[in-house]
Structure 1
Amino acid sequence: MTYLVALALGVAVLTGHTLVNATRWLRRPAAPPAGVAEPVAVLLPLRDEAARVGPCLRALLAQRDVSDLRIVVLDDGSTDGTADVVRTIAGDDPRVTLLTGAPPPPGWLGKPYACWQLATRADPAATALVFVDADVVLAPHAVAAAVAELRAAGAALLSPYPRIVVATAADRLVQPLLQWLWLTFLPLRAVERSSRPSLAAAGGQFLVMDRAGYLRAGGHGAVADRILEDIELARAVKRSGGRVALADGSRLADCRMYADWPQLRDGYSKSLWATFGHPAAATVVVALLLLFYTAPPLLAVAALAAGSVPAALVALAAYLLGAAGRVVTARATGGRWWPDALAHPVSVGLLGWLTLRSYHLRKRRLLSWRGRPVS
């Protein structure tokens, strides 16, 4: 019984931290009344994105409140006609430049090299760089709001996390864990104030950077071989003396990361090993997550079967407190909470399985993405 009470209290503390982050420290960018006057380059790396780039590019062309906006698109060895789709949508719009990417040289992964080519070939007059993935659709004021928030935060890097669009059961189980994990376990205030690289986070789907800060940190050249190039870029910024900031970008951008379960499974498998680092660290973290969030409903059923109603009620309370954290996260980031939050123990269990799969595939050197090896 004492163990169950301690478990429930631990979950309560974590959910309380989620609530504080979501209601007090999370930035929520808004469109600046006067717009943005500085030159801005929006950088869009593409590899076999013919089916998804249309809504993304049309949304970029519809941006407002930025007086000097340039859109630089890089076709990174696509074989599905991505460049033709870009040409058709952009037409003769002078704001759009389409580049043909070079294959990554030794020591580089594909996406960091694509982003590095974009950043170094963009108009040198641009003082703000906005990296956007093809699965992101921006609201018309998104670029202006994000650049204005970057300046208001005094940061070199701002990560406004998009609203994750969910369409399948797998989406609903796994995707909301992204926001939940950093709202629950990251001290957002310390992330902005501390100079420690370990206290850094970012999401590469929509990333806004001060150009001078980007170059001072070494840009994507500093994270050339990193599968989690977004997080590593945030750490590089801190090492160079810059600040990073996280924000709720659910009012600025929508993102449907994966079209189906195989893509989602493989997408997480390619990078979870890099999230946790050493397998021993992953084992400890996953075990604690399972203990706090997957075990309580099982313990409640076991206690009830054994005739211990008080123990069952405490375990049930731990389960509901964990689900409450998902509710807080969903309401803070524009996500869906009912009935998905009730399946939170299943979500955490699935995360554990994906982590195990990630390490297993890495050990066998079978990890790849978009036809390129990632480890």
Structure 2
Amino acid sequence: MIWLVLLAPAALTAHTIVNAALLRRPAAGQTTMERVAVLLPLRDEAERVTPCLRALLAQAGVPHLDIVVLDDGSTDGTADVVRAVAGDRVRLLTGAPPPDGWLGKPYACARLAEAAGDADVLVFVDADVVLAPDAIAGGVALLRGCGVDLLSPYPRIVGAGRLVQPLLQWSWLTFLPLRAMERSPRPSLAAAGGQWLVADRAGYERAGGHAAVAGDVLEDIGLARAVKRSGGRVALADASAFADCLMYPTWRDLRDGYSKSLWASFGSPAGAAAVVVLLLILYAAPPLAALLLAGAGATWLAAASLCAYGMGVLGRVVAARATGGRAWPDALAHPISVLIFGWLVVRSFALRRRGLLTWRGRPV
């Protein structure tokens, strides 16, 4: 059993390497003649929406581009910033409180999709994302090239959380068979990141749109599963060369953001406990075990434990290099990253049980 635990990080890192080699990426310099609607939901984003808007206004290669912005009950002057930066070059909608059974973001996205007119492609973007000038054209071209209904081009994550944020890309490169996910009809085998989504309009509507995920905290993953349930296909891509995402500017923002949603990532507390324990055994325990075994004179087991730790570090390096992240020295702290992640999972469930989870002033 102990050798199985020690060999598992090597097998998982081999899978990371395979996924990294097969990872899809948008191509530069693309052009699309399709009608594209960029949909931007905003709630209290006055301090950081300007770079996002300017990047959207500078898009090239998409002559039929409509930018629709929804101000979702902001109290910080977000709408005024939008008007000052974009003027009449975007359509600015005023949001309304979500009806019973809806969370704020899914409702805002549904309203935006309804306002998308005759667009063939819907591009959902968060306010913390800054796109390169040819990002949208590249995303649409990749959507069509893959033959999928929903494409999730993952941006380069910047900002706080150097020990935690890279676990996002590392996790799906390590544990999710990307090409099998594209082919499989199973909704459970689906992943997406809501920072930037590119959707075929017909496939989105066939899946029920955001009404299908009205009450989902993780509406991005829920939408990917809804697309699969409707017979559609989903793909992930690395778009680190085309987009930056300042997801959480501070550690406090990161802590609260992860706490808001991690409880919904595992299906049940038992499932979450199983995942966290497995990660701790495979990635946090090996360096400690190597020290203890070396002190006890178990040289071969100590060396094997050290190799297991090295495999975890290598996996983080591969994931970082494949997705535009920082490899060194952050990867060396992979066991600490896993420990922090485990704590965030526990915190998320604890706050959920006590009914204390909120986001942007709304209960979750």
Indicate the TM-score class for this superposition, using the shorter chain for normalisation. over 0.9
Is 1:212 aligned to 2:205, yes or no? no
For residues 373 and 20 of structure 1, the distance between their equivalents in structure 2, rounded to whole angstroms, comes to: 41
Q: CA deviation at 1:305?
A: 1.7
Secondary structure of the structure 1 residue equivalent to 2:162: helix
Secondary structure of the structure 1 residue equivalent to 2:21: helix
The answer to whether the Cα contact below 8 Å between 1:32 and 1:148 also exists between their aligned partners in 2 is no
Query: Structure 1-normalised TM-score?
Result: 0.96
Is 1:30 aligned to 2:27, yes or no? yes
Deviations 1:86-115 (A, max 9, x none): 00001232xx10000111000000000000
For residues 370 and 76 of structure 1, the distance between their equivalents in structure 2, rounded to whole angstroms, comes to: 10
Aligned length: 364
1:140-289 equivalence runs, <5 A: 140-166=133-159, 168=160, 171-289=161-279
Q: CA deviation at 1:6?
A: 2.3
One of 95, 110, 119 as aligned partner of 1:116 = 110
For residues 130 and 204 of structure 1, the distance between their equivalents in structure 2, rounded to whole angstroms, comes to: 10
The answer to whether the Cα contact below 8 Å between 1:59 and 1:139 also exists between their aligned partners in 2 is yes
Partner residue in 1 for 2:46: 50
Is 1:372 aligned to 2:362, yes or no? yes
One of 331, 338, 347 as aligned partner of 2:337 = 347
Q: CA deviation at 1:267?
A: 0.3
* Percent identity between the two aligned chains: 70
Letter in 2 for 1:10: A
Is 1:136 aligned to 2:129, yes or no? yes
For residues 177 and 224 of structure 1, the distance between their equivalents in structure 2, rounded to whole angstroms, comes to: 27
Deviations 1:95-141 (A, max 9, x none): x1000011100000000000000000122x11000000000000000
Partner residue in 1 for 2:101: 107
For residues 366 and 157 of structure 1, the distance between their equivalents in structure 2, rounded to whole angstroms, comes to: 33
Query: Structure 2-normalised TM-score?
Result: 0.99
Partner residue in 1 for 2:14: 16
Q: CA deviation at 1:307?
A: 2.2
For residues 143 and 103 of structure 1, the distance between their equivalents in structure 2, rounded to whole angstroms, comes to: 30
Secondary structure of the structure 2 residue equivalent to 1:6: helix
Secondary structure of the structure 2 residue equivalent to 1:84: helix
Letter in 2 for 1:51: E
Partner residue in 2 for 1:76: 72
Letter in 1 for 2:132: A
For residues 5 and 235 of structure 2, the distance between their equivalents in structure 1, rounded to whole angstroms, comes to: 32
For residues 113 and 255 of structure 1, the distance between their equivalents in structure 2, rounded to whole angstroms, comes to: 22
Letter in 1 for 2:24: R
Deviations 1:228-276 (A, max 9, x none): 0000000000011111111001011000101111110010001111001
Deviations 1:125-159 (A, max 9, x none): 11000000000000000000000100111111000
**Aligned-residue CA RMSD (Å):** 0.9
Q: Which runs of 5+ in 2 are unaligned?
A: none
Partner residue in 2 for 1:324: 314
Letter in 1 for 2:136: V
Secondary structure of the structure 2 residue equivalent to 1:45: strand
For residues 112 and 6 of structure 1, the distance between their equivalents in structure 2, rounded to whole angstroms, comes to: 42
Secondary structure of the structure 2 residue equivalent to 1:92: helix
Secondary structure of the structure 1 residue equivalent to 2:328: coil
Letter in 2 for 1:207: L
For residues 63 and 32 of structure 2, the distance between their equivalents in structure 1, rounded to whole angstroms, comes to: 6
Q: CA deviation at 1:202?
A: 0.4
Q: CA deviation at 1:319?
A: 0.2
Secondary structure of the structure 1 residue equivalent to 2:351: helix
For residues 215 and 339 of structure 1, the distance between their equivalents in structure 2, rounded to whole angstroms, comes to: 45
For residues 30 and 117 of structure 1, the distance between their equivalents in structure 2, rounded to whole angstroms, comes to: 31
Letter in 1 for 2:121: A
Deviations 1:187-210 (A, max 9, x none): 101110000100100000000000
Q: CA deviation at 1:32?
A: 5.1
For residues 54 and 17 of structure 2, the distance between their equivalents in structure 1, rounded to whole angstroms, comes to: 36
Letter in 2 for 1:45: P
